């Protein structure tokens, strides 16, 4: 997140506005996600690895011949 803040500052966005800009963009993205994905998105933003279930991963591997 620090890297994003640095990039926004380099664009000329005032330091006291950067957190608000990031929050606005994250909410915009979250609104575009399919229903039920908001929790997973929040986890990723916090730096957590969401639990998507091993069964789902196995099915995904099958799609790619794995």
Q: How far apart are CA 17 and CA 45, in angstroms?
A: 19
Give residue 54's pLDDT band: very low, low, confident or very high (50, 70, 90): low
Distance CA(22)–CA(35), nearest Å, equals 22
Asked whether the beta carbons of 8 and 18 are under 8 A apart, the reply is yes
Average pLDDT, rounded, for the chain = 82
pTM over 0.75, yes/no: no
Q: How far apart are the first and last CA of the chain?
A: 34
What are 41's two structure tokens? 């998105």
Look at residue 42 in the predicted model and tell me its pLDDT: 86
Residue found under tokens 């993205």: 29
Give the integer Cα–Cα distance in Å for 9 and 15.
7
pLDDT tens digits, one per residue of 13-41: 999 999 999 999 999 999 998 888 888 88
């Amino acid at each position: 997140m620090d890297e994003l803040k640095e990039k926004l500052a380099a664009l000329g966005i005032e330091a006291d506005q950067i957190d608000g800009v990031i929050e606005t963009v994250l909410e915009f993205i979250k609104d575009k996600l399919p229903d039920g994905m908001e929790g997973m998105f929040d986890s990723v933003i916090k730096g957590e690895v969401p639990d998507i279930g091993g069964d789902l991963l196995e099915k995904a591997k099958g799609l790619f011949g794995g």
